[in-house]
A = this chain, B = another copy of it.
Amino acid sequence: PAKAKSRRLRWDVKASDMANSTLNPIRAIVDGMKLTPNKDKAMIALSIGDPTVFGNLPTDEAVLQAMRDAVDSHKFNGYAPSVGYLRSRQAVANFYSCPEASLEAEDVILTSGCSQAIELVIGVLCNPGDNILVPCPGFSLYKTLAVSMGIKVKLYNLLPEKSWEVDLQHMESLIDERTSCLIVTNPSNPCGSVFSRDHVQKILKVASKHCVPILADEIYSDMVFPGCSCPSIASLSSDVPILSCGGLAKRWLVPGWRMGWILIHDRNDVLGSEIRQGLVKLSQRILGACTIVQGALENILNNTPQSFYSKTISFLKSNSEICFGELSTVPGLNPVMPSGAMYLMVGIDMDHFPGFKNDVDFTEQLVTEQSVFCLPASAFEYPNFFRIVVTVPEEMMVEACARIREFCQRHYRPRSCDSSDLEQ
């Protein structure tokens, strides 16, 4: 070209805005904490949302056998279609299909974990400048992904006093013409709550009235305590398009395997081919799940015995009851009993703990004194709570609760006092 272009004369490589705006609040908060356990007490981490870390919740032998068979078959080494093998998609469709919300293979897209399912759904529904409605407290990935894509996040409140039901009025008040997606997490991380049929119907009514499609994060589907039912959101709607995200991570206890899926429910054909095509296109960017896991999927879904699921759930329920029972008699703490998933949220009466600035400070000091680490709920945009993961072995749960009690007893001040002079 005739005209000399201006070029760089020195090295000056900067990270992109997208990289810089990919913020993980859990990391941001945890990395900023001084976590120095009391060396006289063994560390108990109640913070990690990975049910496999303590070894007490192994996956089922049928799941492992399905993987061995997939390896031995030599059939699953090549590229799969970007949306997954038809047969594996069919297996997922069969597994989740129900009379009220039937599914065909073409309604299923396999992804690299539920995380990629969420990324693809937000990616296909939202443009920069749009906004999405996200539960508060809620799983932080929604915001991380949305903000990095230039999509605004509006948090709608969940109500602890109503077992974390949605504040429907608040949610509805947030909807405007740029609201392109409503995210509903049921059962919930971090709350462990499970919505009643009636409550889901009310949420659907709002979505229907304002014509907002739903991203249903149902990664904890069927992980509900006995006596509690949790129909899929799609099974309760006949008009709202619902993109349900799920995967093997939690229920089958293999989060590292990165097997997720999107179930497309669109009985009134609102989405048309554009959204489906859009999801296919997005899936072609990096392709999805590992073919060995895809090849094992049909057997995993069909051969895992019911007893495996029930065992996990009884354990989670029992641990939740222990934890709730213990902590509900600790002055200054307000645990909320969960009905599913693998979490329990505990409110802190900060008025009674004038020694601490907030939940981050509280949980940091809990590590220092008692070597118990709970995630401060600031990580879920919900200060003055902390989250307990109930997948740890029972004896650890018992011990952790005893230590939390000791810690609270030590720092509890019976009457609320003005904490302002303690700050700074």
Which residues of A from 227 to 286 have beta carbons under 8 Å from B? 241, 253-259, 268, 270-272, 274-275, 277-279, 281-282, 284-286
Tell me, rounded to whole Å, the shortest Cβ–Cβ distance linking A216 to chain B. 15
CB distance from A416 to the nearest CB of B (A): 32
- Given contacts A5-B175, A241-B13, A277-B15, is CB(A77)–CB(B125) below 8 Å? no
Closest to A181 in B: B13
Residues of B close to A277: CB separation below 8 A: 15, 19
* Interface membership of A161, Cβ < 8 A: no
Pairwise interchain contact A8-B258, C-beta atoms closer than 8 A: no
Closest residue of B by beta carbon distance from A240: B11
Q: Does A287 contact B (CB under 8 A)?
A: yes
Determine if A144 is an interface residue (Cβ-Cβ < 8 Å).
yes
CA–CA, A272 and B24, complex, Å: 21
Q: Is A78 an interface residue (CB 8 A)?
A: yes
Stretch at the interface among A50-58, A217-225, A364-372: A50-58
* CB pair B67 A71 closer than 8 Å: yes
Give the distance to chain B from A200, nearest Cβ to Cβ, in Å. 20
Decide yes or no whether A148 CB sits under 8 A from chain B. yes
Segment of A97-105, A205-213, A333-341, A377-385 in the binding face: A205-213
Complex Cα distance A76/B253, Å?
11
- Which chain B residues border A284 with CB–CB below 8 Å? 22, 24, 27, 144
Cβ < 8 Å to B, chain A residues 310-359? none
Which of the four size classes fits the interface of chain A? 35 or more
How long is the Cα–Cα vector from A113 to B290 in the complex, in angstroms? 9
Q: Are B124 and A256 closer than 8 Å at their CB atoms?
A: no
Q: Pick out which of these stretches binds chain B: A115-123, A301-309, A396-404.
A: A115-123
Q: Are B255 and A79 in contact (CB under 8 A)?
A: yes
Interface digits, A5-22 against B, CB 8 Å rule (1 contact, 0 not)? 111111111111111101
* Known contacts A78-B256, A293-B290: A16-B285 contact under CB 8 Å: no
Assess the B16–A123 pair: CB atoms within 8 A: yes
Answer yes or no: A92 CB below 8 A from chain B CBs: no
A176 within 8 A of B: yes
Q: Verify A50–B68 contact, CB threshold 8 A.
A: no
Is A374's beta carbon under 8 Å from chain B?
no
Residues from chain B with a CB closer than 8 A to the CB of A286 are: 112-113, 115-116, 119
Q: List 9 A-B contacts (CB under 8 A).
A: A6-B177, A13-B125, A15-B278, A18-B282, A19-B282, A50-B79, A59-B77, A256-B294, A257-B292
